[in-house]
Structure 1
Amino acid sequence: MEQVKDLELKFLPVLPLKNMVALPKSIVPVVVGRDISIKAVEFAAKNNKEVFVSAQRSESVETPMVSDLFDVGTRAIILQIARMPNNTFKILIEGICRAQIQAEQPGDGFLGVLVKDIDAGIIQDSAKNNALWRTLYEDFKEYISLNEKISPDLLALFKGPQDLDYLTDTIAVQLPLNFLQRQDVLNLIDLEERAIHLSVLLKKEIEVLLTAQKIKKRVQRQIDKNQKDYYLNEQMRAIQRELGKNDFQQEIDALRKQLKKTKISKEAYEKVESELKRLESMTPTSPEAAVSRNYVDWLLNLPWENTTSDNVTIEEAEKLLDNSHAGMKKPKERIIEFLAAKKFAGNELKRSPIICLAGPPGVGKTSLALSIAQALGRKLVRISLGGMRDEAEIRGHRRTYIGAMPGKIIQAMKKAEVLNPVIVLDEIDKMAMDFRGDPASALLEVLDPEQNHAFSDYFLEVDYDLSNVMFITTANVVDNVPYPLLDRMEIIGLNGYTSAEKLKIAQDFLVPKLLKEHALKPEQFIVCEKILSRVIEEYTKEAGVRQLERVIAKLVRKAIQSLLKDKNLKIINITDENISSWLGRAKFKEPDRSKLKDIGRVTGLAWTEVGGDVLDIEVVTLKGKGALTLTGQLGEVMQESAQAAMTYIRSRAKDLGLKPDFYSELDIHIHVPEGAIPKDGPSAGITIGTAIASALTGISVVKAIAMTGEITLQGRVLPVGGLKEKLLAASRLGIKKVIVSKENEDDIKEFEKELNGSLEIFYAENMDEVLKNSFMQDPFEKAKKDLKANKTKNKKIKNKSKKKVSKNKKKKK
């Protein structure tokens, strides 16, 4: 092989590159941004456009020196220069030949060097030259055939073995070499060594491409197999259709027949037909087929036209309701009204009422709803809303979710199998909300007669008519129900039962029911009215009858235990001794109010979630400096009522016979017993005022009297709520007389008959009337008499003192 020839030295500007090597025979785009590079390009552009291109040894050097560059680089010519907006150049350079730095010769603001071209020479051994040429050429040809990115036309550039140098540099340009590998190829000046080195690199790259091709073919074969399987499955389906053995297709055909028989809405019909067409193009075992089949089943199995006829007569409905529940006049009247209107209007009346039964626990709200369904001859489905906090429970889940299904409303309709059932939404006041949505908001559409004819469930994706459904909701406290939802319902209050009603329920319903459950005959278990009344008064304290049922059930179990112990015993007659022995001491026995102090103590009436109750308010006056103390865990409203009552008493101090400045010499302590229980509300206002007046005047309060009403600064008595529960509690606890606001008279007239005349009710307009009717002695008349007596007494004392003075004068004379 010939030696490398020294050519003449040339001065060239240097273009340093980062992580990039420009090889001979290559055309490379370069972005020029550094000052030394820009000035080098500008110098070259003014001269012969030639530059010396060399790679930096380290990319971190921003302003390289000649020592920072590789000695061997490429002499290149600038083919194109484009100036960029940010004062940089984008140039296109073509490598001409290898060159080596001989000396540094700085230019004007750029690196300049003296370089000499390096000629690789030729391989003297022509056989070796030809062999290397042929090997590289064939390998490169195979590489081009495997690499779709390189055009086969490139091979036409090489004429024969004399182009070995050109071939090696071209191969180096086309191979995906990294920075150091390219620099190594550039450093290989000896043509033979370079050709062998590139042959090795080319072989490795061919192996990589062959392996990639094998992987690609394997993937393609798998795809082809899936397509083949699909094709064969389609053929099998065709064969099975011909033989009549295609179960899946038979199922689809059966669904299509069912669709034609079912009178569903046009929108639902189109939806089902579309899903059936999709099903036909799916494999039976695919997950999508199961989802579509489930969706079609739901649409086809919902009631779209089936209804139950309201064929029960009004008389039969009234009898059924009366036999199943005692009392409850209002809800019974409302159901009979609807039944009468339905029978009169027929199909013209399409809307069903939306009723909310509100009342304390245990009064029979849910069981009344069942009786309503029976009275109307309709099917009943109950949905419990207590603790529900996910909107999807009402509206359903979208079909994109795994395991999606419709909401509770649509599920209830499928269960009912008719278009006009009675759906009971139990505990509507117990719903909650969180990040998953607000179910109360979702119910707005369900319970709105203007919207529920086109209820939208996320799963069904079609409108469904709920206008024929009678919705009955139940709640303990309607204050917990959002107002927009409450506004859509007709509220019917179910108040607590009177003792007489509880006695009737126990005799007619609870005792027969429990005897039947425990397989006892009526003649084996005898309990009289007196015993039941004692159980109601002393062992239960509730608005409903749940606790009463549990107590009677305990008596039944004790009776069975006695029958099993004594085989000769055939009948159990419940006596007072049995009650005391089996149930223990009385739990709710009221104190004898006749023994309680009457001055400064007044009985008030209170409303609770489980019915009415009474509370005693006690007032004591002490020598002090005018402090007003309130105890008994009173709320802000109740404390303000006490302050208003105190202000009223101070304004009437003279009329009540009190000193005008009595409050500055006395401390007044107001206490409401059962301090562990929070109390609030304005209805204790007149009770507190009466107790303060009694304590200050020393006049006793009438025994067995209770009162409720809000007080104002001027002494007016304002109306309050919860009167039925309060008066029932007063009647139950032996109160004989009740004072309420005159404005509550119409409210009380609605249920006055239920009190059975056990209470004397006085309607007061102002506090003067309250005090006159609650004190043993009229405080205003007493104050007048005391004032008159004081005047007479003072007059006598004055006259006596005058006589005494006149006698003394006579003695002096």
Structure 2
Amino acid sequence: MQLSDYDAFPTTLPIVVEDELFLYPFMISPIFLTDQKDIDAAADAMENNSLLFVTSSMPGKEGTHDFDTMYKVGVIGSIMRKVHIPDGRVKILFQGLARGKIVEPQEGPFNRAVIDVVTLESYNKLKADALMDILRDKVKKLSALNSQIPADLVRTIEENDEPNRIADLVSSMLKLDKEVAYVLYVEMNIEKRLLGLIDIVTSQIESAKVQREIRTKVHSKIEQTNKEYFLKEQLKEIQQELGMDTQREEEIANFREKIAELKPHMQEDAFKEISKQLDRFARMHPDSADANVLQSYLEWVLELPFGKLTKKNLSVKDVSLELDKDHYSLEKPKERIVEFFSVRELAELRGIKQKETGGVILCFAGPPGVGKTSLANSIATALGRPLVRMALGGLEDVNELRGHRRTYVGAMPGRLVQGLIEAKSMDPVIVLDEIDKVGRSMRGDPTAALLEILDPEQNSKYRDYYLNFNIDLSKAIFIATANDVGRIPAPLRDRMEFIGLNSYTPKEKFEIAKRYLIPQELKKHALKSREFSITDKALKTLIDEYTREAGVRNLRRRIAGLMRKGARQLLEDKTIESISITRKNLEKFTDKKVFEISQVDSKPQVGIVSGLAWTAVGGDVLTIEAIKIKGKGALQLTGSLGDVMKESVRIAHSVVKILIDSGELPISPSIIPHSAKEREERIAVDPSEVYKRYDLHIHVPEGATPKDGPSAGIAMVSAIASILSGQKIDNKVAMTGEVTLTGKVLPIGGLKEKLIAAYKAGVEKALIPMKNYERDLDDIPDEVKNNVKVIGVSRIEEVLKEIFVK
């Protein structure tokens, strides 16, 4: 089939764009069509018995078959066969006839354009023949190195004298990148084409030589490795036949030597168990499964630091200095820690065993980020002992602590034994982190294992299931941390002494940031103190308006964020020598503000009171709102209240009714709704009728947040009393305390956090239970007591005298 059998060129032809293949004239190739435009173009060529123009898509533009994404030079040819495939594609067998180029694109439902035949330039036959001879020689060499180049193609190149045909054949054989293939394809000067192909074939010959050399080396290395393996296996079999397996004997002798070294420091049962297992191991066949299990066991147990103790003597002075160096404030926790180690040091000086002094397990309890784990780190540093941290959060499997019995596949010692091996000492500081978050499941209760670990009467003979002998934990110092003491099981709680770490005041946070956080973060961010600084006002704003926490963890993150942005500016702008964060430019370096505590209302209002609450991240001020609606005395509660707070509201409602009935809470008759008959006859209504003629709706805002706890009683009474009596509540007053039906105010917990929250919210007067006033006021920071007037109340009548605006 020839071009002369069709219309003269230039002529309009349908166009198919091929994404994968790069076609050449005189090639017969199958093409799979998936794009609808291409399928329609092929159908049009078949229907009109016309030629087809096939071109390639540009690199990176595959799939978008538009004129802007296709090459303008391609192949003119005919469709020899067309088949529809069940998956929706169409397969055509395409025969190339000549080079063609797009002259003028045409609009239509599929790609078509005016196509003209590309006329190749004339050439010097002598030069072309010389270049072809060089190319043939190069292709032969490449064929000898690369088995993927077929001999038939080499023969065809040798028998053909047409240079353009030879160039096309070699190009198709080399599997060139689309862009390189197109550059060669559109080159009209045959001499330049042949020279380009010679360069490409030469580079591929060099590449093939390197690959062959590498393959030869790898093959030789593999052969050598296999040879050595087979020889070693043969030697092993010969040694076993002759009873000369020296490697195993050396291993057993090494184990016996280690046991002999450790025997003086082992308990008797430990020595017997390890020796027994070693004897079993020596009698076993080395290829048995039990031999591998026993070998792992012996390797584990002989890593235990039997008899190894830290050489540094316990010094209370060192502990005190280290605690003061690493922590600001926390006076009471630090004092209790020093007392704890004073007893130990005195016992050591007088030669009294720790068991006889009634050892105590310390547990640091408090909100996240207040320094619980940090205190444990400081203790370990001061004592010169290694620190082992065991994160117990979410632990459900008791075998994680106790170890797995050796009958299980993949058995290992428990976390405690692994910690001793890592510490390489039998007296490390072991931190049991998040002990309140230990779980319980079908795999056992880990808290039951912790009872033995933390009991000084029992932990001198602690048994790990994997080891199967007792080890002495009495010399280790155990320190637990917890966020919520109430979630720790009672028997476990009984074995610990709790040291409370409360929220930091803004002043304490400021000092911690200046003394510790900023210097530490400067070092982490590779900054010098002269290159980055934060003014005091900016730091206070960062604490008050950008963090919401009891500790300083988020404050550290905020400071780190400022330093990251500062480091970037120093790198990008070489003219900047230092970054200074001030209150004015703080917003440029940080995200949006997160106000920690909502400020109290700007003016007194009826039915709105500020209550003080304790949360996991410190104290908070809860606004309690009450409204009255004409009704029959019903009570409606909203705000995601828990059962305890719902009962507090009902008790408060009853208490207010009693106060109204007794005349303790005066009610103006003008606020009581009168019926039409009462207004007409001017009947005076008893003030006690007020709570019978109004329905009350009590709401605590932020309904999505669950709220519960026994400390909102007097706040609920105040809100209900205000709304029923019509008296305004002082907006600068906040309160906490539970109330009984008889009007007594009961003590509460978390007073320090609550009063710190009141101080932050701008409260001027705080009402607290009298018992808390008498016993807990010393724990409140002076910064809070100097700015908030704290008043102790024992009955609800005293509360009402303080809250109403005269």
Instruction: Please give the TM-score of this superposition, normalised by the length of structure 1.
Output: 0.64
Of 342, 349, 352, which aligns to 1:348? Answer: 352
Q: Partner of 2:256 in structure 1?
A: 256
Find the residue that maps to 1:616 and give its secondary structure: strand
Q: Is the 8 A contact 2:373 2:433 kept in 1?
A: yes
Q: Partner of 1:692 in structure 2?
A: 720
Q: Partner of 1:539 in structure 2?
A: 546
Call closer, same or farther: CA 1:589–1:443 in 2, change over 3 Å.
closer
Q: Which amino acid aligns with 2:260?
A: K
Whole-Å separation in 2 of the counterparts to 1:699 and 1:413: 66
Mapping of residues 379-418 of structure 1, within 5 Å:
379-418=386-425
> Does 2:322 correspond to 1:320?
yes
Q: Which amino acid aligns with 2:496?
A: M
Q: Partner of 1:268 in structure 2?
A: 270
Find the residue that maps to 1:625 and give its secondary structure: coil
Whole-Å separation in 2 of the counterparts to 1:230 and 1:322: 63
Whole-Å separation in 2 of the counterparts to 1:737 and 1:599: 18
Unmatched 5+ residue regions in structure 2?
Answer: 1-234, 668-686
Cα deviation, residue 706, structure 1: 0.7
Q: Which amino acid aligns with 1:326?
A: Y
Find the residue that maps to 2:711 and give its secondary structure: coil
Whole-Å separation in 1 of the counterparts to 2:411 and 2:535: 57
Q: Partner of 1:236 in structure 2?
A: 242
Call closer, same or farther: CA 1:235–1:564 in 2, change over 3 Å.
closer
Cα deviation, residue 543, structure 1: 0.7
Q: Partner of 1:737 in structure 2?
A: 765
Whole-Å separation in 2 of the counterparts to 1:678 and 1:282: 63
Find the residue that maps to 2:432 and give its secondary structure: strand
1:455-489 CA distances to partner (integer Å, 9 max, x unpaired)?
11111111111111111111111222221122111
Whole-Å separation in 2 of the counterparts to 1:527 and 1:646: 51
Cα deviation, residue 709, structure 1: 0.3
Find the residue that maps to 2:516 and give its secondary structure: helix
Q: Is the 8 A contact 2:690 2:724 kept in 1?
A: no
Q: Is the 8 A contact 2:364 2:498 kept in 1?
A: yes
Q: Partner of 1:655 in structure 2?
A: 664
Q: Partner of 1:45 in structure 2?
A: none
Find the residue that maps to 1:619 and give its secondary structure: strand
Q: Which amino acid aligns with 2:512?
A: I
Find the residue that maps to 2:279 and give its secondary structure: helix
Whole-Å separation in 1 of the counterparts to 2:788 and 2:474: 45
Of 593, 605, 609, which aligns to 2:612? Answer: 605
Find the residue that maps to 2:418 and give its secondary structure: helix
Whole-Å separation in 2 of the counterparts to 1:334 and 1:592: 36
1:685-723 CA distances to partner (integer Å, 9 max, x unpaired)?
101111222222232222321100001111100011111
> Does 2:793 correspond to 1:764?
yes
> Does 2:523 correspond to 1:498?
no
Cα deviation, residue 233, structure 1: 6.9
Q: Partner of 1:442 in structure 2?
A: 449
Q: Is the 8 A contact 2:633 2:696 kept in 1?
A: yes
Q: Which amino acid aligns with 1:661?
A: E
> Does 2:459 correspond to 1:452?
yes
Whole-Å separation in 1 of the counterparts to 2:277 and 2:601: 80
Cα deviation, residue 503, structure 1: 0.7
Whole-Å separation in 2 of the counterparts to 1:255 and 1:284: 15
Fraction of identical pairs, as percent:
45
Q: Partner of 2:578 in structure 1?
A: 571
Q: Is the 8 A contact 1:339 1:376 kept in 2?
A: no
Call closer, same or farther: CA 1:598–1:341 in 2, change over 3 Å.
same
Q: Partner of 1:172 in structure 2?
A: none
Cα deviation, residue 574, structure 1: 1.0
Q: Which amino acid aligns with 1:531?
A: A
Of 578, 586, 593, which aligns to 1:586? Answer: 593
Cα deviation, residue 591, structure 1: 5.4
Call closer, same or farther: CA 1:411–1:655 in 2, change over 3 Å.
same
Whole-Å separation in 2 of the counterparts to 1:771 and 1:419: 61
Cα deviation, residue 761, structure 1: 0.9
Whole-Å separation in 2 of the counterparts to 1:385 and 1:656: 53
Q: Which amino acid aligns with 1:272?
A: I
Q: Partner of 2:375 in structure 1?
A: 368
1:593-634 CA distances to partner (integer Å, 9 max, x unpaired)?
352442221100011111110111112223332222222122
1:579-598 CA distances to partner (integer Å, 9 max, x unpaired)?
12222442217555352442
Q: Partner of 1:282 in structure 2?
A: 284
Find the residue that maps to 1:402 and give its secondary structure: coil
Of 332, 336, 339, which aligns to 2:338? Answer: 336
Call closer, same or farther: CA 1:683–1:592 in 2, change over 3 Å.
closer
Whole-Å separation in 1 of the counterparts to 2:465 and 2:454: 17
Q: Is the 8 A contact 1:268 1:299 kept in 2?
A: no
Whole-Å separation in 2 of the counterparts to 1:568 and 1:660: 77
> Does 2:514 correspond to 1:507?
yes
Of 273, 296, 299, which aligns to 1:297? Answer: 299
Whole-Å separation in 2 of the counterparts to 1:504 and 1:252: 60
Is 761-770 or 650-659 further displaced after alignment?
A: 650-659
Whole-Å separation in 1 of the counterparts to 2:604 and 2:701: 14
Whole-Å separation in 2 of the counterparts to 1:275 and 1:359: 46
Q: Which amino acid aligns with 2:381?
A: Q
Q: Is the 8 A contact 1:498 1:754 kept in 2?
A: no
Find the residue that maps to 2:612 and give its secondary structure: strand
Cα deviation, residue 570, structure 1: 1.0
Whole-Å separation in 1 of the counterparts to 2:460 and 2:440: 26
Q: Is the 8 A contact 2:537 2:583 kept in 1?
A: no
Whole-Å separation in 2 of the counterparts to 1:563 and 1:574: 14
Call closer, same or farther: CA 1:350–1:310 in 2, change over 3 Å.
farther
Find the residue that maps to 1:330 and give its secondary structure: helix
Cα deviation, residue 234, structure 1: 7.2
Find the residue that maps to 1:620 and give its secondary structure: strand
Q: Which amino acid aligns with 2:798?
A: E
Q: Which amino acid aligns with 1:730?
A: A
Find the residue that maps to 1:662 and give its secondary structure: helix
Number of corresponding residues: 543
Of 520, 527, 534, which aligns to 2:527? Answer: 520
Find the residue that maps to 2:562 and give its secondary structure: helix
Q: Which amino acid aligns with 1:349?
A: K
Call closer, same or farther: CA 1:589–1:276 in 2, change over 3 Å.
closer
Mapping of residues 116-127 of structure 1, within 5 Å:
none
Find the residue that maps to 2:574 and give its secondary structure: coil
Q: Is the 8 A contact 1:728 1:755 kept in 2?
A: no
Q: Partner of 2:31 in structure 1?
A: none
> Does 2:313 correspond to 1:311?
yes
> Does 2:685 correspond to 1:665?
no
Provide runs of 4+ in structure 1 moved above 6 Å.
229-235
Provide the alpha-carbon RMSD of the alignment. 2.2
Find the residue that maps to 1:763 and give its secondary structure: strand
Structure showing greater Rg: 1
Mapping of residues 196-235 of structure 1, within 5 Å:
none
Mapping of residues 626-637 of structure 1, within 5 Å:
626-637=633-644
Q: Which amino acid aligns with 1:698?
A: G
Whole-Å separation in 1 of the counterparts to 2:237 and 2:283: 12
1:648-686 CA distances to partner (integer Å, 9 max, x unpaired)?
111121222231222112222222111111212221110
Find the residue that maps to 2:570 and give its secondary structure: helix
Q: Partner of 1:59 in structure 2?
A: none
Q: Partner of 1:191 in structure 2?
A: none
Unmatched 5+ residue regions in structure 1?
Answer: 1-228, 778-813
Find the residue that maps to 1:437 and give its secondary structure: coil
Of 477, 489, 496, which aligns to 2:484? Answer: 477
Instruction: Please give the TM-score of this superposition, normalised by the length of structure 2.
Output: 0.65
Q: Is the 8 A contact 2:767 2:790 kept in 1?
A: yes
Q: Which amino acid aligns with 2:242?
A: M
Call closer, same or farther: CA 1:594–1:681 in 2, change over 3 Å.
closer
